[in-house]
């Protein structure tokens, strides 16, 4: 760990991360009289929406699901798009700060690099990259699930003479793609979004595709001020429904029937209605058994495949983008949302390289070399994903009471109690972290629902004079077993997804995110009602 300067500053609570969860914790705990401070590595509010500034970056949860339910924030804020882009989200966070006055308790460009728990004082010593160490009784990690970008170890990557960047590290002052030869490796959410924008301006765009992306129609549209104003009268009820729902959406309703038991005409009618709504409606808003029954799942895939083939002119390209045999069960990897992604491949300046047949052998100064070709490039974009869920933690020298780092503790797999706490890491509570719904939970809803549980927990500890809370080993092991049993009842484990940690070499393959926030919060609330069962309180 970095140098341990004397701890001059002491806090009741130190929050790490200035995204939705971190800001909500700051807002609520400060009102309740806690001495609280927030550290963030970026230079402004927003968490992922500070860092996500690549072309086309936008949220995949539609408005008004993706915003705080705090009335003083939404009362005089109007969105301009159903799925806002990163610029609008940055303006939104500036508005949040204007209303809630958060920045006075936030320190930016303050990267936490280590923390160790001191048993005698029952406090954390937290070290930042500038060498300062501060004390806090509690640490709240609000790191998000995509805090550590992953770039595969391509041979020769350091030799490339053009501009190269991971989408998560896009230069804050921008990077022009206009008139350039652009290569994109990877086609998850950020890859799809960059490809759409680059296709309009690049001299030539090449997608290096390993696995086809099952991208769903976004059905984006503009919002008017009158339309936004008319919604205000219903928003309190909208947010109540959203926060009580199973995924943080007020308007995603699932047909209770099984897809394979419904007549084809009726089934296609349900599929078409969900497709027309756009967003994640086709993923989680059709039939109840899509992610649990292989036959029903294949029906959803075939419907999607037909939609893609109708939009791509070249049959061979269409087959690469949407093959007859599914690359994995539909929805077992997070779908991306697209607007004109598939039409881009009808353009003369866009080409697709199938890495299963023509793998990358090395990066060279001029571009990318595959088994059979060289591709000269000016810009190389790595849309290669994240060490999801755990990477934000393991990149910090976070020490347990036994002296082991959390990276060492989690080397053979993650064990947490309720996705909130880790054994031997007392007084450290995680929000939007591994083994909670996180990736299956709309961010602002999670920030408030899971966030209120954490706030209530800290108030309880303070009111009862309890100085320490720690997850019990047995409770954490039971939670991990419950996670595995829950995943096994679905098709999720059949995909090599970041949900399973399968995208990172050497990472244990396990279900990293809890499926269903309703049942998740029932477990959390049951623990609280039973004196925080599964936790040791001292």
Task: Give the pLDDT of residue 19.
Answer: 98
Q: How confident is the model at residue 1 (pLDDT cuts 50, 70, 90)?
A: very low
Distance CA 237, CA 190 (A): 33
- With a cut of 80, say whether residue 7 has pLDDT above it: no
Helix, strand, coil percentages in the chain from 3-state DSSP, rounded to 5: 35, 20, 45
Task: Give the pLDDT of residue 247.
Answer: 84
Mean pLDDT, all residues of the chain: 96
Q: How confident is the model at residue 518 (pLDDT cuts 50, 70, 90)?
A: confident
Please report, rounded to a whole number, the percentage of residues in the chain having pLDDT higher than 70.
Answer: 99
Distance CA 428, CA 420 (A): 8
pLDDT by residue (tens digit) across 246-258?
888 999 889 999 9
Indicate yes or no: pTM above 0.85.
yes
| Structure token digits, residue 383 | 């849309």
Whether 185 and 384 have beta carbons less than 8 Å apart is answered as yes
Mean pLDDT, to the nearest integer, of 365-380?
Answer: 98
**In 313-426, where does DSSP find H-type helix?**
315-321, 341-344, 391-394, 406-409
CA pseudo-torsion sign 268, 273, 276, 282:
negative
- With a cut of 90, say whether residue 224 has pLDDT above it: yes
Mean pLDDT, to the nearest integer, of 296-312?
Answer: 98
CA atoms within a 13 Å half-sphere pointing along the CA-CB vector of 411: 5
What are the chain's domains? 10-148+388-537 (3.50.50.60), 157-229+246-382 (no CATH)
Whether 356 and 212 have beta carbons less than 8 Å apart is answered as no
- With a cut of 50, say whether residue 465 has pLDDT above it: yes
Nearest to 90 by CA among 65, 119, 60, 53: 53
| Structure token digits, residue 450 | 């899971």
Burial group, residue 77, by CB count within 10 angstroms (0-12, 13-18, 19+)? middle
Mean pLDDT, to the nearest integer, of 478-488?
Answer: 97
- With a cut of 70, say whether residue 509 has pLDDT above it: yes
Please report, rounded to a whole number, the percentage of residues in the chain having pLDDT higher than 90.
Answer: 97
Q: How confident is the model at residue 6 (pLDDT cuts 50, 70, 90)?
A: low
User: 3-state DSSP call for residue 149?
Assistant: strand
Phi, psi values for residue 210, rounded to 5°: -95, -50
What's the gap between Cα 330 and its chain centre? 19
Mean pLDDT, to the nearest integer, of 90-114?
Answer: 98
Q: How confident is the model at residue 2 (pLDDT cuts 50, 70, 90)?
A: very low
For 39, the enclosing helix (H) or strand (E) is strand 36-39
Mean pLDDT, to the nearest integer, of 139-168?
Answer: 97
CA distances from 94 to 35, 46, 307 (A): 23, 9, 39
Distance CA 514, CA 418 (A): 9
For 519, the enclosing helix (H) or strand (E) is helix 517-529
For 343, the enclosing helix (H) or strand (E) is helix 341-344
| Structure token digits, residue 492 | 């999720």
Q: How confident is the model at residue 61 (pLDDT cuts 50, 70, 90)?
A: very high
CB neighbourhood size of 147 (10 A): 28
Nearest to 15 by CA among 2, 1, 26: 26
Nearest to 231 by CA among 86, 443, 63: 63
Nearest to 360 by CA among 352, 374, 376, 371: 371
- With a cut of 80, say whether residue 192 has pLDDT above it: yes
Distance CA 498, CA 227 (A): 37
């Amino acid at each position: 760990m970095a140098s341990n300067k004397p701890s001059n500053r002491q806090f009741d609570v130190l929050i790490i991360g200035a995204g939705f969860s971190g800001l909500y914790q700051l807002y609520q705990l400060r009102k309740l009289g806690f001495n609280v401070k927030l550290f963030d590595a970026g230079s402004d509010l927003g968490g992922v929406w500070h860092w996500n500034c690549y072309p086309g970056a936008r949220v995949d949860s539609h408005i008004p699901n993706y915003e705080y339910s705090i009335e003083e924030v939404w009362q005089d804020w109007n969105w301009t798009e159903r799925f806002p882009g990163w610029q609008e989200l940055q303006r939104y966070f500036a508005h949040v700060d204007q209303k809630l006055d958060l920045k006075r308790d936030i320190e930016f460009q303050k990267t936490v690099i280590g923390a160790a728990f001191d048993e005698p004082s029952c406090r954390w010593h937290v070290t930042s990259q500038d060498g300062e160490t501060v004390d806090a009784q509690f640490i709240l990690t609000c790191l998000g699930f995509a805090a550590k970008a992953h770039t595969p170890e391509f041979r020769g990557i350091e030799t490339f003479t053009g501009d190269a960047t991971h989408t998560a590290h896009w230069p804050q002052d921008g990077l022009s793609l206009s008139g350039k030869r652009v290569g994109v490796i990877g086609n998850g959410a950020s890859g799809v979004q960059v490809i759409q924008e680059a296709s309009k301006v690049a001299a030539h765009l090449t997608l290096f595709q390993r696995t086809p992306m099952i991208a769903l129609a976004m059905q984006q549209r503009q919002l008017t001020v009158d339309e936004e104003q008319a919604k205000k009268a219903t928003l309190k009820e909208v947010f109540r429904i959203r926060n009580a729902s199973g995924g943080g959406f007020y308007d995603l309703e699932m047909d209770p029937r099984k897809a394979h038991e419904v007549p084809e005409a009726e089934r296609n009618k349900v599929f078409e209605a969900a497709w027309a709504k756009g967003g994640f409606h086709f993923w989680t808003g059709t039939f109840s058994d899509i992610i649990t029954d292989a036959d029903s799942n294949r029906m959803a895939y075939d419907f999607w495949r037909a939609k893609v083939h109708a939009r791509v002119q070249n049959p061979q390209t269409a087959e690469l983008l949407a093959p007859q045999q599914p690359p994995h069960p539909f929805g077992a990897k997070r779908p991306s949302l697209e607007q004109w992604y598939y039409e881009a491949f009808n353009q003369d300046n866009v080409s697709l390289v199938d890495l299963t047949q023509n793998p990358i052998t090395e990066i060279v100064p001029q571009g990318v070399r595959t088994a059979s070709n060289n591709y000269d490039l000016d810009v190389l974009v790595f849309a290669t994903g994240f060490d999801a869920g755990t990477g934000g933690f393991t990149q910090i020298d976070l020490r347990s009471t036994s002296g082991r780092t959390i990276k060492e503790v989690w080397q053979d797999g993650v064990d947490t109690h309720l996705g909130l706490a880790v054994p031997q890491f007392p007084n450290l509570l995680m929000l939007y972290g591994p083994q909670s719904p996180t990736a299956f939970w709309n961010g602002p809803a999670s920030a408030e629902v899971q966030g209120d549980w954490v706030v209530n927990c800290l108030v309880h500890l303070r009111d009862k004079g309890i100085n320490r809370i720690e997850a019990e080993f047995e409770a954490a092991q039971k939670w991990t077993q419950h996670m595995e049993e829950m995943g096994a009842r679905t098709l999720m484990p059949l995909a090599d997804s970041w949900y399973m940690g399968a995208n990172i070499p050497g990472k244990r393959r396990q279900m990293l995110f809890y499926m269903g926030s309703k049942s998740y919060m029932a477990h959390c609330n049951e623990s609280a009602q039973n004196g925080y069962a599964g936790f040791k309180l001292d």
